[in-house]
């Protein structure tokens, strides 16, 4: 249990502690109540993600309050209670945030709640007996729980990435591999809180981490596009979508329809064209179109971006033949790519070389 006698005498730490508390409260209110988006214009974040993030930020502020109480009334019972609240609030809110980012289907939080029951039991036993040593099994259990949650999220995000590529042409503001960093920072912070001998330097660093986490969560919640509308693709065809009695038979007309209504009309240049929109445009349903791409060994994303890369190549040759001044960035935008980084990755995937290397070879 930490020695709080010197902490309460450090006026600079007290001011920093209060400032971080205020920051967390303001951030929670901002995320929960603001309807616009201050970070990236044109992005509408998922409502569920906003709520879980606001809950997380509010619990950080609440944590500052009950640790103040512990500092004023240090005892085994108050320490165990504060530690238990930290574990419950952080694990539940972090799990809620990560699950809310996965928008292919709604994932429930109740398994996480059930998994925390042993922690509550051990902690209550420690409070009753006023014995901090009884927390040792709970600490080991929490570490294992954090590891399992991290492993689950790694696999879940891989599956989610596949779902995105099967249904969306443009992945900007939809992917969140970098959010594993969010998970790692938050959970490591939890472990540092509970399992590190605290001193004043450590407590200063924890406040710095809290500021970093607030900024990281504010950025994450406002740079992830909501996919909760008609863009969400059903796993199985509905009765209304069925075109033939057999759900395993993909119409032979899909290939010609794609050529006629997508490739010849340059529909693929439409920004953020989804699988559902393309299926409607060619007169089929999302399930059959998805099955068609799967049988071709393609993802929907690879199909659309492949067409865009081919369009870029055509524009490049026309510009060179006409002695027109151009940039690769300009031609990529004319080819339907919203960002150059997306174009660069798609070009290398299709052509096997970077844009610059290909342009050099094309001139020779």
On whether residue 242 sits in a domain, the answer given is no
CATH code of the domain covering residue 263: 1.10.10.60
Q: Same domain for 25 and 73?
A: yes
pLDDT beyond 90 at 307? yes
Q: Same domain for 186 and 300?
A: no
Residue 191, pLDDT score: 60
Report the number of distinct structural domains present in the chain: 2
Helix, coil or strand: residue 76: helix
Q: Same domain for 136 and 201?
A: yes
Q: Same domain for 20 and 103?
A: yes
Condensed to tens digits (0 to 9), the pLDDT of residues 36-70 reads 677 777 788 889 999 999 999 999 999 889 888 88
Averaged confidence pLDDT in the chain: 84
Residue 304, pLDDT score: 96
**323 φ/ψ sector (left φ>0, alpha ψ -120 to 50, else beta):** left
On whether residue 181 sits in a domain, the answer given is yes
Q: Same domain for 23 and 119?
A: yes
**Nearest-angstrom CA–CA distance, 39 and 55:** 20
**Nearest-angstrom CA–CA distance, 193 and 79:** 12
On whether residue 226 sits in a domain, the answer given is no
On whether residue 307 sits in a domain, the answer given is yes
- pLDDT band, very low/low/confident/very high, at 21 (cuts 50, 70, 90): very high
In sign, the C-alpha dihedral spanning 271, 274, 280, 281 is positive
- pLDDT band, very low/low/confident/very high, at 146 (cuts 50, 70, 90): confident
Q: Same domain for 56 and 183?
A: yes
Lookup result for tokens 């010849």 = 264
Q: Same domain for 177 and 261?
A: no
% the chain with pLDDT above 70: 85
Q: Same domain for 41 and 164?
A: yes
Condensed to tens digits (0 to 9), the pLDDT of residues 236-276 reads 444 444 444 444 577 888 999 999 999 999 999 998 899 99
On whether residue 237 sits in a domain, the answer given is no
Q: Same domain for 54 and 195?
A: yes
Residue 197, pLDDT score: 53
Q: Answer with the residue of higher pLDDT: 243 or 111.
A: 111
Count other Cβ atoms within 10 Å, centred on residue 217.
26
On whether residue 240 sits in a domain, the answer given is no
Please answer whether residues 185 and 320 qualify as being in contact, where contact means their C-beta atoms are separated by less than 8 angstroms.
Answer: no
Helix (H) or strand (E) holding 287: helix 286-295
**Nearest-angstrom CA–CA distance, 141 and 130:** 20
Condensed to tens digits (0 to 9), the pLDDT of residues 214-237 reads 888 888 888 888 885 444 444 444
Instruction: Give the domain extent around 310.
Output: 254-363
Given 221, 238, 268, which residue is the final one in a domain?
Answer: 221
Give the CA count within 13 Å in the CB-facing half-sphere of 20.
26
Q: Answer with the residue of higher pLDDT: 79 or 2.
A: 79
């Amino acid at each position: 249990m930490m020695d709080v006698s010197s902490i309460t005498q450090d006026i600079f730490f007290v001011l920093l502690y209060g400032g971080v508390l205020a920051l967390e409260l303001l951030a929670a209110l901002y995320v929960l109540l603001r309807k616009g988006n201050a970070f990236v214009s044109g992005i509408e974040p998922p409502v569920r993600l906003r709520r879980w993030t606001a809950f997380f930020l509010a619990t950080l502020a609440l944590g500052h309050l009950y640790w103040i109480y512990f500092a004023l009334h240090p005892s085994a019972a108050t320490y165990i209670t504060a530690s238990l609240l930290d574990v419950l609030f952080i694990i539940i809110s972090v799990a809620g945030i990560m699950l809310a980012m996965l928008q292919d289907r709604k994932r429930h939080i109740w398994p996480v709640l059930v998994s925390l029951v042993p922690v509550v039991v051990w902690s209550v036993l420690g409070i009753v007996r006023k014995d901090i040593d009884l927390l040792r099994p709970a600490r080991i259990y929490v570490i294992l729980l954090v590891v399992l949650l991290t492993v689950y999220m790694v696999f879940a995000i891989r599956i989610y990435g596949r779902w995105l590529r099967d249904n969306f042409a443009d992945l900007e503001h939809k992917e969140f591999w970098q959010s594993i960093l969010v998970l790692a920072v938050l959970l490591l912070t939890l472990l540092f809180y509970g399992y590190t001998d605290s001193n004043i330097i450590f407590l200063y660093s924890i406040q710095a981490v809290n500021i970093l986490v607030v900024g990281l969560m504010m950025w994450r919640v406002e740079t992830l596009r909501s996919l909760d509308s008609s863009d969400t693709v059903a796993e199985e065809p509905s009765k209304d979508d069925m075109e033939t009695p057999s759900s395993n038979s993909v119409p032979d007309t899909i290939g010609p329809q794609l050529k006629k209504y997508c490739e010849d009309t340059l529909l693929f240049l439409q920004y953020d064209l989804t699988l559902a929109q393309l299926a409607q445009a060619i007169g089929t349903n999302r399930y059959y179109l998805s099955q068609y791409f799967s049988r071709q060994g393609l993802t929907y994303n690879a199909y659309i971006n492949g067409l865009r890369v081919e369009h870029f190549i055509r524009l490049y040759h026309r510009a060179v033949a006409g002695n027109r001044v151009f940039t690769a960035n300009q031609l990529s935008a004319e080819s339907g790519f919203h960002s150059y980084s997306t174009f660069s990755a798609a070009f290398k995937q299709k052509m096997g070389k970077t844009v610059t290397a290909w342009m050099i070879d094309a001139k020779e």
